Structure 1
Amino acid sequence: MALLVALGLLVAGFVGGLIASAVAIIPLFFLGFGVTSTFVLVLATIPQQLLFAGVGALYARLRLNSLPIRRPDRGELTFAAGATVVAVVLASVLSYALTLTNIEPVESVIGQVAQNDPTVLLALAVLSIFLVAPAEELLFRGAIQGRLRTAFGPVATIVLASLIFASPHVFNYLGNPLAIVATTGVIFVTGSILGIAYERTGNLAVPILIHAAYNTTLFGIAYIQLVGF
């Protein structure tokens, strides 16, 4: 039952967000904006994340009777900093390892837009701090991991929540299905680090900080690679 509820929360947030995003961006096409324009990508991101936040916060409040988020103490801030470094290093190593295989590399929607306008990476970095990280952690750690915890042990809870977290990211990539699955596996690893942080601290602010710092770091690195110093 807990797993079905967790999947239902994902569907509610993801499908609802897709509908809201479509309603927001369809008028832009009639105004001459292309599918791969920065404005369209950023605008489409906002309704999706707001749905994630709304579904996650509402369920946690009504069904879990708590949303454990508070100002991190010094130990939690230190833990968040270390976990961010680990997440960035692991993602970089795993991504590089994929380039050494015979698996055809994937193309990301964000990457395609960034090739034409690198500033989209800076916009997404800002969104990550103020919207994406809080919204996704409210849903995937606060609500989904919180619900799974009522039925499973910590290891199974983190694994299941991380798989659910990684699954919507499949739609961010284009290319060989095997390559998409392998690339999404990197996101599963990141989700596992976020899940461990939540289980260890019991404070949703910690994975939010890690998530925001992780995304911002990767977007910053990608921006520098595209435009140089």
Structure 2
Amino acid sequence: LQAISLLGAQILELIAALVLLQSTAKPQYKFVDFFKANKVSKERSWLLASAVGFGFLFMLVFLTSFLADSVVGPKAINNPVLKEILVSSNISKAACVLVYCIVTPVLEETVYRGFLLASISSTMKWQSAVLISSAIFSAAHLSGENSLQLFIIGCVLGCSYCWTGNLRSPILIHSLYNAMTLMITFLS
């Protein structure tokens, strides 16, 4: 029931965000344009960008985890509430996979890369826009102990978006990262 409620809430949040963004965005920033091929995305493979981005993200998160464990000491990898949901039933598992690997990546990438990063990169260099949007992405998760990793994740996703010119690559990287996190939590 907890997982189904989470799925329902996330789907409603996604719908509300999409409606809000679509109704308030300037005409040149239509939601469907995030997924259309443009000149940059036609020249660059979003699948290659996704593979390289995910590999790079995995390496950076592993290194920062190793450094944090060395400096601060090891912390529990898994979220006990999430672990309980994952082991409770097949329906809960399926709802978690839908939330963490599909709904959340689409929602967050639309908001943080498609809207926020695209908006601020029109007024500054893309590198600065990636750093600012990544800091906001990290802060919005309200997770002090994971803020550095969330910032790094935001930077990789932002660079992927800027390089490919559409949201397909950061959504795929985000989905793969969340799937890996779910697997680690489930198996631990």
- TM-score, length basis structure 1: 0.66
What does residue 113 of structure 1 align with?
81
What does residue 105 of structure 2 align with?
133
Structure 2 matches for 1:40-79, cutoff 5 A? 40-60=5-25, 62=27, 64=29, 67-70=33-36, 75-79=45-49
SS of 1:203's equivalent in the other structure is coil
Number of matched residues?
179
What does residue 9 of structure 1 align with?
none
Q: Which runs of 5+ in 1 are unaligned?
A: 1-32, 174-179
| Structure 1 residue 151, shift from structure 2 partner | 0.9
What does residue 212 of structure 1 align with?
175
- CA RMSD for the aligned pairs? 2.9
Greater relative CO (CA pairs within 8 A, separation 6+): 2
Q: Distance in 2 between matches of 1:207 and 1:188?
A: 14
| Structure 1 residue 205, shift from structure 2 partner | 1.4
Deviation string 1:140-162 (CA, Å, 9 cap, x unpaired) is: 11111111012111111101111
What does residue 162 of structure 1 align with?
134
| Structure 1 residue 103, shift from structure 2 partner | 6.2
CA contact (8 A) 1:70 1:204 kept: no
Distance 1:212 1:57, change over 3 A: farther
Structure 2 matches for 1:72-91, cutoff 5 A? 75-91=45-61
Deviation string 1:109-134 (CA, Å, 9 cap, x unpaired) is: xx131343334565333223331111
CA contact (8 A) 2:86 2:96 kept: no
| Structure 1 residue 189, shift from structure 2 partner | 0.4
Q: Distance in 2 between matches of 1:157 and 1:126?
A: 30
Q: State yes or no: 1:185 paired with 2:151.
A: no
- Identify the match of residue 150 of structure 1 among 122, 125, 128: 122
Q: Distance in 2 between matches of 1:130 and 1:115?
A: 19
Q: Which runs of 5+ in 2 are unaligned?
A: none
The worse-fitting range, judged by mean Cα deviation, of 147-156 and 45-54 is 45-54
Deviation string 1:189-218 (CA, Å, 9 cap, x unpaired) is: 001111001111111211111111111122
